[in-house]
Structures are given as structure tokens and as C-alpha cells.
Amino acid sequence: MAKLFIFGLGYTAKRIKVAAESAGWQFSATGSDGDVDFADRNAVLEGLDGASHVLSSVPPERESGSDPVLESYGADLGGRWLGYLSSTGVYGDTEGAWVDETAPTGTGRRSARANCDVAWLDMGARVFRLPGIYGPGRSAFDRVRSGKAHRIDLPGQVFSRVHVDDIASGVMKAIARDAPPGAYNLSDDLPCSQNAVIEEACQLLGREPPPLKTLDEAGLSPMARGFYAENRRVANGKAKRVLGWQPDYPTYREGLLALL
């Protein structure tokens, strides 16, 4: 029976785990909900034993910017199918222009992520570049209900996003097809403003949308403010063409309806 080892069983990786189990895979994983302690080298090597496929969702180290999985276990991963969950933030700001996997990386605020992205590509991994992720328990509905939703007055500002289950299906397609190593953007078909998503969520919930505010008036955290510092549209044609992947939620509208 095929076995998948996951480094970092977080929000997205859990959905991939569910998809893999449904396909009959065995798995082991590190993370708070995993069965293996990342710091226990013997336990990790035991978990890796017999694993034909390895997927990492572990972000860069906060201080050093290095990849903890490659730092600790890179030498033990040879001969396996490798996957890495990266970010479309590696492309930086394109002033709203479209980017695909041929676009340069490392020019934006996600320099550590871009370096780890390159390191995994050098390992021969399938690197899945992900935009804003939403899904059950993590969507515009949750922000609206909690009173934390914002509409920011930034005309022309657009983002791409992807439903978490579309990430899972994309990764499973890459595994099933033994996709060539390289980068794959997994994003929906309709980049749009964050305001449009919040407005749709409010309409579905029967609530008034929050007022438009400037960035200064919104009082956002530095991390949230940085989200608005970049403006790009992410193209997903390679994933569709090479993986045979089609998002079940091609726009935020289908995704929100499913979540509702």
C-alpha cells in the first residue's frame, strides 16, 4: 500500500491527508495533530521508512529564513516523490499583472519563502504555489461574523485565492500523474478584490457590508497591512494542462456557497 509522509499536518495538509486516505494511502505526519515528533530523529526516520511520497507544508524558520525540513532531513529524502506547499507571494508585487510559473521570484516581501521555494525545486520537488487559502472555519464568513471583516479603499487592488479542497485535489492529481518536478500555481479562475469577497459573504449572510476605509483608518496589523502591499493575478494554466486539474470552486462565489 502506498504511503505518504507529511511534514507539518496543518490546516491545508489535513485536507490533503483526508484526500489521500480516501484514495487508500497510508500516512504518517509531524505536527501537533500528527503521529511523529519532528524533533525525534529516530521517529521521523521510522515514519519515512516505506514512504514513497513526502509532502512538506512547513514554513521557513522565522529568524534564519531557512527551511527546517531540508535543514534537518534533506539528506534523508532522496529517491522519493517530493512535494512542497509554497506561496504565490514569491512573485512579489506585479501591479495587478498576471503571473505564471515562468515569472521571476524573490522580489517581494516573502524572501525567505522564495529561498525555500528554490531549495525544494533544486531537490526535484513539485512545488505548489498557493495564494490566499480559504475553506471551512477560515473564510470571509468567519471574518464577517466575528466583526473582523474589512473593506479597504484601494481601487484596482486584486488578489487570487483558492479553496483548500482544490489544493488537495491538485496535489493528489500531481501524485496520480507522477507530475514532472517543478512549480505549479494552484489558484482559482477569478482574481478579484478582497472587497468583492467580503461583499458577497455579507449578501449571503443578509448583513450590511463594513464601511470602506483607508489602510490607516482600518488599523490593520503590520502583517495584514503587508497583504495589501502586493497586487497580482495568478494564472493556473500549467496546473490545468499538466496535472489535468480543474478547481471545483473556480471562483469565490462557488466556494462561499459551498461553505454556507
Contact 80, 30 (CB under 8 A): no
Q: What is the pLDDT of residue 173?
A: 98
Mean pLDDT, the chain, integer: 95
pTM: 0.96
Buried b (16+ CB within 10 A) or exposed e, 107-121: ebebbbbbbbbbbbb
Q: What is the pLDDT of residue 222?
A: 84
**Distance in Å from the first CA to the final CA of the chain:** 36
Q: What is the pLDDT of residue 135?
A: 98
Measured CA to CA in angstroms, residue 232 lies from 80, 95, 106, 153 at distances of: 34, 6, 15, 17
Q: What is the pLDDT of residue 102?
A: 97
Q: What is the mean pLDDT of residues 133-149?
A: 96
Please count the CA atoms within 13 angstroms of the CA of 173 that sit on its side-chain side.
19
Q: What is the mean pLDDT of residues 147-173?
A: 96
Q: What is the pLDDT of residues 77-106, one digit of tens each?
A: 999 999 999 999 999 999 999 999 999 999
Q: How confident is the model at residue 1 (pLDDT cuts 50, 70, 90)?
A: low
Buried b (16+ CB within 10 A) or exposed e, 247-258: bebebbbbbbee
CATH 3.30.70.20, applies to 3-259: no
